[in-house]
Chain A
Amino acid sequence: MVVVPDLTRAPDRATGSLVRVRGQLARFMPLLLLTALLVLLSLRNPDLLTRNSLLTIADSAAPLIVLATGATIVILCGGIDLSIGALASFASVLTALWIPTMSAGVVVPVILISALAGLLQGWVHVAARVPSFVVTLGGLSLWSGLALTISGAGTVPVYDFAALRWAFTRTWGLPSATLVALVLVVVLGALMRFTPFGRWVSSVGHAEPAARLAGLPVGGIKMLAFAISGACAGLAGVLLVARTFSGAPTLGDSLLLPAVAAVIVGGTAITGGHGGLGRTLVGALIIVLLRVGLSQIGIDTSYEPIIYGVLIIIAVSVTIDRSKVAVIK
């Protein structure tokens, strides 16, 4: 497992043992659910439990994990970032366009630019006091519009495959993309836990006025959160290019809702404050399992969305920790 920023254990300790048990249960619920789902699906299709197919799931999950991780930090601040999908597409186009000139080095500028894009959105949100939902909704159109324009609305193939080999190969038998995602989660997790950033983010998410009047750089924290989210989208974009050998202006768009779903299924409160990256990691795996697993168990594809919808609702209803969310909207 990875380090989870753990500002949430405190209240559990405070109250009686029973509550603590429930608290602990709530913390591991996502993990339990993941296992349960895996078992259930594998009853229909034993192949799912083979090493390969598990590794394949992990591999498929990588871009989603990266996106969701970034989104988590914004959501912990009490905001939301709807632009990540489009931003990832944008990044994929940039990557594909620039690989010929800068080869492997492409990663750095792409992630930087994505981070700036996120920062810009954060700045508008903070400076103009516009709800993040709106700003990033606008961002969504903006980035995909830009992606369409610079790519001439076409797929940009990648020829210099070596440049991104690291992002789509196997190391120690594990999909490297998954490792990249894990490293990201660990690094950000450490940032959240071992520096004040983590508790700042939660303070802002829980009680922004209090955070502000305690002299926390609320605006800065929010903008940084959006910047990180942007950077993650950029990285996700690179991973996508690595596995499709090309960049395309709509490559990552479809990952937006699954990413947010992953965050919430992981048990992070959409109202902000409570949650963590480890939870999101598990949440992402659950979502991917639902996405690919359902098509593997030989049910009529027409029923697939229905079952997906039902399962996703069940998933959230068991994973969210209601004791941490004041008003549920």
Chain B
Amino acid sequence: MRRPKRHRRSVLACVAAGGFLLSGCAGEAGGGTTDGATCDPEEIKLIGQVRNQTNPYEAAWLSGGDEYAESVGLEQEHLTYDGDSQRQQEQIRQVLAGSGVECTVLNVLPNGDSDTAPIVAAADSAGALLVTHWNKPADLNPHDFDRWIAHITYDDEKSGYQISKALFDDMGGSGGIIALQGILDTSAAQNRFAGLQKALGETPGVELLDDQTANFDRAEALSVTRTLLTAHGEHVRGIWAANDDMALGAMQALEAVGRDDVKVVGIDAVPEAIAAIQDGTMTATVSSDGPWQGGIGLAMGYCAATGELDPTAVEDENRAFYAQHFLIDESNAAEFADRELDMSDFECANLFNRATGPIAE
């Protein structure tokens, strides 16, 4: 699938320009960046924004944020936009049109790559502190901004690669697989699939029979898998899913057709998946630690707002980094089953402990 080539300077320029043009929106909220100015802890406004509360991962994310907010004696304001890009933009702009923007911390999960630039532009011009996750265009980077503290994501290509390997091993290194892709219009889906292809290249025994998108959706995964199973019948020995929800959907399809010889892998480590791994119906998944993401973004913002963290002082490769993640299989599933949030992660000193290196361009 073709991905548009990018020119670093230009996006930066356009976002900066966007910021400049938008600055009117900030109004008395004092446009431009006001770094250095510290906020009184009570003044700080913590906001977490995710798509919706109707999937375990994002729900956990918000609760993580709540836990952190509580720990510093504040409340996290929830924003959910139902996977509706327009609505996400509207909400962000509306928040930034309010008062006390410099002391507002936004911990945002952009709906797609395309949504990150405007969010950054708006936040930057309004002077709000921003941490983003998962989706961003490769050539738009926090270290070009003062108030956009960090962009946190996981090495999707690596995750995709790891689960592929786990899958192939479990299959005994040979056989046909089918792949369920995520929402095609996201770097997450594309990178994870890239990981799969990398692994396929290294494992000649395994053949990719077919790949279809199920849009990260469980129900869709169910019906697509059904069809693909009839299309390729016994050849299918493994199913690679770009997230756990689809993996679980696929497993339902397998159950429906009474196939128990097909291995399944996914990504996200949602409780159901971990349970499935524990009782052996699923091979592996990769942890993306929702609660931690929900907390860490707020923590970074809080520390920056109180002056304990100077974003500009953070070295560039930590401004946009891959957070560490773990491959979860039978061996270690138990310890991930119910994992407490470790508050020490959120101390201003430890903010970047989980950084495992800069995001590859």
Contact = CB atoms under 8 A, between A and B. Distances in A.
Contacts of A57: 94
Contacts of B117: 157, 244-246
Contact of B24 (A53, A160, A170, A291): A170
B2 interface: yes
Nearest to B3: A154
Contacts of A249: 185
B113 A155 contact: yes
A245 B4 CA distance: 14
From A245, A298, A302, name the one whose CB has the most chain B CB atoms within 10 angstroms. Answer: A245
B97 to A, nearest CB: 4
Nearest to A168: B21
Contacts of A47: 97-99
Given A157-B6, A161-B14, A248 B93 contact: no
Nearest to A242: B18
B1 A153 contact: yes
B308 interface: no
Contacts of A162: 17
Contacts of B29: 52
A52 B121 CA distance: 17
A258 B245 CA distance: 28
A195 interface: no
A301 B17 contact: no
Contact of B118 (A245, A292, A296, A300): A245
Contacts of A243: 89, 118
A247 B117 CA distance: 12
Given A50-B99, A249-B185, A300-B78, A56 B93 contact: yes
A254 B1 contact: no
Given A152-B3, A161-B17, A296-B95, A301 B27 contact: no
B69 to A, nearest CB: 14
Interface stretch (B80-88, B204-212, B223-231, B253-261): B80-88
A165 B16 CA distance: 13
Contacts of B358: none
A230 B2 CA distance: 28
Interface string B91-115: 1011111110000000000001111
A245 B85 CA distance: 13
Nearest to B120: A245
A328 to B, nearest CB: 29
Given A157-B6, A255-B86, A291-B87, A246 B114 contact: yes
Contact of B97 (A50, A158, A161, A250): A50
Given A52-B97, A153-B185, A155-B114, A254 B18 contact: no
B13 interface: yes
B118 A298 contact: no
A8 interface: no
A113 B154 CA distance: 40
Contacts of B137: 155, 157, 246
A59 B90 CA distance: 9
B190 interface: yes
A155 B95 contact: no
A292 B79 CA distance: 10
B162 to A, nearest CB: 24
Interface string A154-185: 11111111100100111001000000000000
A158 to B, nearest CB: 7
A169 B20 CA distance: 9
A22 to B, nearest CB: 35
A161 B15 CA distance: 9
9 contacts: A51-B27, A52-B26, A59-B25, A60-B90, A148-B184, A154-B184, A252-B86, A254-B86, A292-B91
4 tightest A-B contacts by CB?
Answer: A153-B184, A159-B10, A161-B14, A155-B114
Interface of B: 1-4, 6-7, 10-11, 13-15, 17-18, 21-22, 24-29, 53, 77-80, 82-87, 89-91, 93-99, 112-115, 117-118, 121, 137, 184-185, 190
